[in-house]
A and B are shown apart, each in its own frame.
Chain A
């Protein structure tokens, strides 16, 4: 009997996609008439219902732990290619569903309060509903991504979330620098992701070429091909999948879009650009584990890219002043940790960090949004402020001393920061430690680089906390800041609770998550808990925090002051501050040559050569007809003469022939 009920739950899986779509359609049709609260509630309920379904699936999986494929509809049948719409319920996909819908629902609720203010600050109330339509669309697309049974269906979700990302980064598309800043940021994200998507497509072609299928179930048991070509193809699959990962998960060298993506409203940064969408790359690697197991090239490259990104982005985060930019680079760095983990084969550690990171990074972003709105409130209610002057409510140099004004936000922010810094016993400690411990045994260089990244992580979070919340307020806006309503702070508290206890998901020697994922990913090694490594990483975290206190906590930051670390690091800090000039380098190496080439193709080639040929042909026809038009002079007698001459010529020819 029990089997019957569990199979019933598995058949609910299409609902994780369709419930958010129902919310979307309702809001799309009548959302504007419903008003803000109702419209936001419907969207949150749609996402919450998807979470309930995901929970039911989890319950079903506990009794029947093998993967279940739920066919939904026939899709593509061409030649040897057969791809159907089918949902795959296994421990890996359900973990992702729980994160996406769970964190997603909290962010939906938070967004009701946040967007209420945001649409007023940006003076367009009609966009409130649109925001929730996009959010629900995102949840639906993300669900397709994680519940897909084949690479092609995953790709549909992959592109769908990319679209939502584009729409939401450019949500205030007419705002930003020079009125095009946000639109340019959205475009940059989309185009950079296209490069990664190209990798995904080529990887899919190669998979189909080599194995003749795109279905995860069938690919789970493939064996390594023999021969040079087969080896090359398998290595190529790994590398092209890596390219896809670098695009979506913002790794070197394609990470440049994520910091600019902060142009979107803060709930978007939390949901899409920290907790869920950007982790799709990590999920993809975990999902492709059987393929990565076939060749050592792919995993090696993935691990190195992840490690380098983790360190590289962490250094940049140290030199940023924008509260959201710090978190953005921090996200890139943490994604680097996850990618490094899955590259090294530590799939559980990677997924574990994915889940805990979703908790505390969503928390940090949402709290940052709360800080920004608090400061903006202070700015708008400052009677002496020049409201036409440029004021950046996200610049940490304009903040300071917010701890007394925003008590809840401060408390949850510090919890999030400690979790991210990796202080025991918060969530980040366990997950990050597992990754570092895995690297310890495998590769010393990676181990040192990851530790260094962890040090910078603790340092920049300490810097941020002291700059934002402690010391004296550096502007009138910081003095006038106030706490936000409960609808925004309650999700923060829930996320703070999850960040506190999230480590319990996979405690050393208990391995809940590890045993859970074992059913999906084969050949997992149990993570060894190493007291030495745990001690070192905890020591690194505390050193980072102490260094942060030394520079930023001991003496309060004064208005107009230079960063105190600049004195110590000199040009190195300038490099952090200027993001290692990556944007400038890309601009000089790729963008400018491309623009120059476009200019050449547009002006001399298209306008002059192509248009010249087309217009020249027309003009020549004109000249020619005007030339022979002279013959038609309207004089009957001259026609007669010509006819006579013609007859004479023909007769002359016939006679003299």
Chain B
């Protein structure tokens, strides 16, 4: 039953994390950026769970719950900000939000 090797999980996690990071950096739509962030979170979660399973220790699984809760809160705050910004600027292009530069 337990035949999938450890390295498979880790490679999948690395690929997901890299895709998320690239998404955050190259996309200008904050909604997509949030989705990319979720991808990165879940890559990390996958690693936690894989190691937890491999070592027979529940700590990694508990940590995953924490990550999910924090991610949910973060998205709530982030989405609220995006709505507020859209109301004043009529745009949510992330590159136009640069009034604090220099």
Q: A residues 623-644 with Cβ under 8 Å of B?
A: 629-630, 632-637, 640-641, 644
CA distance A635 to B102 in the complex (A): 11
Q: Which residues of B contact A644 (CB under 8 A)?
A: 21, 25
B102 touches A632 (CB 8 A): yes
- Choose among A629, A634, A640 the residue that contacts B25 (Cβ–Cβ < 8 A): A640
Whether A636 and B99, one on each chain, are in contact in the complex, defined by CB atoms closer than 8 angstroms, is: no
Interface residues of B in 82-102 (CB under 8 A from A): 94-95, 97-102
Q: Which of A632, A637, A641 contacts B101 (CB 8 A)?
A: A632
Q: Is the CB of A634 within 8 A of B21?
A: no
Closest to B94 in A: A636
* Identity of the chain B residue whose Cβ is nearest the Cβ of A625 in the assembled complex: B102
Interface size on A, residues (CB 8 A): 11
Complex: how many Å from CA A535 to CA B94? 116
Other-chain residue from B24, B99, B100 in contact with A640 (beta carbon distance below 8 A): B24
Q: Nearest-CB distance from A393 to chain B (Å)?
A: 73
| B77 touches A (CB below 8 Å) | no
A641 contact set on B, CB distance < 8 A: 25
In the assembled complex, B26 has its CB within 8 A of some CB on chain A: yes
B94 near A637: Cβ-Cβ < 8 Å: yes
B98 neighbours in A (Cβ, 8 Å): 633-635
A637/B97 in contact, CB under 8 A: no
Alpha-carbon distance A636/B93, docked complex (angstroms): 11
Give every chain A residue within 8 A of B25 (Cβ-Cβ): 637, 640-641, 644
CB–CB B97/A636 < 8 A: yes
Residues of A contacting B97 in the complex (Cβ-Cβ under 8 angstroms): 634, 636
Which B residue's beta carbon lies closest to that of A644? B21
Total inter-chain residue pairs, C-beta < 8 Å:
31
A637 & B100 in contact (Cβ 8 Å cutoff): no
Are B28 and A634 within 8 A (Cβ)?
Answer: no
Question: What's the nearest-Cβ distance from chain A to residue B13, in Å?
Answer: 15
With A634-B97, A635-B95 known as contacts, the answer to whether A629 contacts B24 (CB < 8 A) is: no
Contacts of A635 in B (CB 8 A): 94-95, 98, 101
Residue of A nearest to B100 (CB): A634
| Chain B residue contacts of A640, Cβ below 8 A | 24-25
A637 to B98, alpha carbons, bound, how many Å? 11
Contacts of A630 in B (CB 8 A): 102
Q: In the complex, which residues of chain A have a beta carbon less than 8 angstroms from the beta carbon of B100?
A: 632, 634
Q: Hey, which chain A residues are within 8 Å of B99, CB to CB?
A: 634
Q: Name B26's contact: one of A629, A632, A633, A637 (CB within 8 Å).
A: A637
Question: Contact: A637 with B102, CB < 8 Å?
Answer: no
Distance between Cα atoms of A437 and B33 in the complex (Å): 115
Q: Please give, as numbers and ranges, the residues of chain A lying within 8 Å of B95 by CB-CB distance.
A: 635, 637
| Nearest A-chain residue to B102, judged by Cβ | A629
Task: Render B3-31 as a binary contact track against A, CB cut-off 8 A, 1 for contact.
Answer: 00000000000000000010011101000
CB nearest to A638 among chain B residues: B25
Chain A proximity of B73: nearest CB distance (Å): 20
Residues of A within 8 A of B28 (CB): 637
Q: Which residues of B contact A636 (CB under 8 A)?
A: 94, 97
Give the nearest-CB partner of A641 in chain B. B25
Residues from chain A with a CB closer than 8 A to the CB of B94 are 635-637
Question: With the chains together, A644 CA to B25 CA distance in Å?
Answer: 9
CB distance from A27 to the nearest CB of B (A): 67
A637→B27 CA distance, assembly (Å): 8
Give the chain A neighbours of B21 by CB distance below 8 A: 644
Q: What's the least CB distance linking B12 to chain A, in Å?
A: 19
- A650 → B minimal CB distance (Å): 15
Which residues of the partner chain B approach A632 to less than 8 Å between Cβ atoms? 100-102
- CA A632 – CA B98 in complex, angstroms? 9
- Which residue of chain B has its CB nearest to the CB of A648? B21
Query: What residue in chain B is nearest A637 (Cβ atoms)?
Result: B25
**Cβ distance B69 to chain A, nearest Cβ, rounded Å:** 23
Cα–Cα, bound, A635→B94 (Å): 7
User: Measured between alpha carbons, how far is A640 from B28 in the docked complex, in Å?
Assistant: 12
Pairs A–B under 8 Å by Cβ, sample size 22: A629-B102, A630-B102, A632-B101, A632-B102, A633-B101, A633-B102, A634-B97, A634-B98, A634-B99, A634-B102, A635-B94, A635-B95, A636-B97, A637-B24, A637-B25, A637-B26, A637-B94, A637-B95, A640-B24, A640-B25, A641-B25, A644-B25
The 7 closest A-B pairs by CB, nearest first: A634-B98, A634-B101, A629-B102, A641-B25, A633-B101, A637-B25, A640-B24
Which B residues contact A (CB, under 8 angstroms)? Answer: 21, 24-26, 28, 94-95, 97-102
Residues of A within 8 A of B (CB): 629-630, 632-637, 640-641, 644
- Supply 11 further A-B pairs (C-beta < 8 A) apart from A635-B95, A636-B97: A630-B102, A632-B102, A633-B98, A633-B102, A634-B98, A634-B99, A634-B101, A635-B94, A636-B94, A637-B24, A644-B25
